[in-house]
Amino acid sequence: MDLDVFVTAHRAEWDRLDALLRRRRRLTGPEADELVSLYQRAATHLSLIQSRAPDPALIGRLTSLVARARSAVTGARRASWRDAVRFFTAGFPAALYRTRHWWIPTALLSTAVGALIGWWIATHPEVRATIAAPAELRELTRPGGQYEAYYSTHAASSFAAQVWTNNAWAAFLCLTFGAFLCVPVLWVLFQNMLNLGVGLGLMSSAGRLDTFLGLLLPHGLLELTAVFVAAGTGLRLGWTLIDPGPRSRRTALAEEGRAAIGMAIGLAAVLFVSAGIEAFVTPSGLPTWARVGIGVTAELLFLLYVYAVGGRAARAGETGDLEAADRDAGLPTAA
C-alpha cells in the first residue's frame, strides 16, 4: 500500500471527522449520521495502516481521532455501584475460578516448601544458630516473646492498616511481576514461604508449635490463599507471554493483564478481611479453637465463593475481563 496516496485520498474525511468532534453545539441528525459513518471509516483506515504500512505518527493521530469519535458515538460511561456489584458477583469470582488450576497447585507446592523449611530448621540446631544467637532465639519463642507480642504491640486499627498494606503490596508484586516471565513471582513467593518456615521451625524447636499455629491460622489461611492466588495469576500472566494459545500474543496479554488488574482489586478486599481478623481476632482473648474456627470459616466461605459463585459466572461466559463495551474493538465492525 502506498501510504502517501492513501493519506491524500482520506485526509479530507479525517479532517471532517475532527471538525465534527470539535463542534460544541449539538449536531443535527444528518451530521450525527455523518459522524458515525466517518468514525467507522476511520477505524477501518487505522486497521489497514496498522497491518500494512505501520507509520507511528499516522497511527498515533488516527488512534486519537478514533478514540475521540468512539467516545462521542457511544457516550462516556460512568462507573456506578452496579459495576461494583457486578464485579464482585461475576467478574472477580469468575477470574478466581478460571485461574484455579494455577493458584491451587501454587498453594500446595508453596505450603510444602514452607513446611519443609520449618522441619529443616526445627531438626537442625546448626541451622538455627545461623539465624540468631541463642538468647535472641529464646526471646523470639518464649511465652509472651516477640512472635506473640507482634500481634498486640500496636493498636488494632493501625495494625490492621499496616498488615493490609504490606499484604496488598506483596500481592501486587506477584501480579505485576508475572509480566517478567514468572521468575520474580517465584522469588516473592519463596520469600514469603521462607518467613513462614522460619517461624514454624523456631517455634517447633521450642516446643510451642501449637501456639504458633494458633496465632497463624485465624488470619493466615485466608491471607496466604490471597497471596497464592496473586502468585498463580502472575504465573499465568507470565506464561501467556510464552504461550498465548490461539490468540495473538498482544491480544492474550491485554486480556489477561486486564483480568489481573481486576484480580488485584478483588484481592485487596480479601486481604482487608484477613487483616481485620489478624488485628482483632488473632490477639483476642478468645480460646484458640474459636479463633482458628473463625479463620477456617473465612477460608471455607472464600472457597465457596470461588466454586459456587465463580463457577456459575464462568459457565455463563464471564472471564474477569472488562465488559465488551469498555474494551477497544480488536477489529473495526463496519467499513
- pLDDT tens digits, 171-230: 777 777 766 767 788 888 898 899 899 999 999 999 999 999 998 999 999 999 999 999
- Dihedrals phi, psi of 328, to nearest 5 degrees: -65, 140
Q: Please check whether residue 13 is in contact with residue 38, taking contact to mean a CB–CB distance below 8 angstroms.
A: yes
CA 174 to the chain's CA centroid: 8
Own/partner pairs, 306-312, CB within 8 angstroms, 24+ separation: 306/93, 306/96, 306/97, 306/100, 307/97, 309/89, 309/93, 310/92, 310/93, 310/94, 310/95, 310/96, 310/97, 310/98, 311/97
Question: Scanning the structure block, which residue is given the C-alpha cell 475460578?
Answer: 97
Distance CA 149, CA 145 (A): 6
* pTM assigned to the model: 0.70
With 90 as the cut, is the pLDDT of residue 289 above it?
yes
Q: In the structure, what pLDDT confidence band is assigned to residue 159 with cuts at 50, 70 and 90?
A: low
Give me the amino acid identity at 115.
Answer: A
With 90 as the cut, is the pLDDT of residue 245 above it?
no
Closest to 208 (Cα-Cα) out of 259, 148, 252: 148
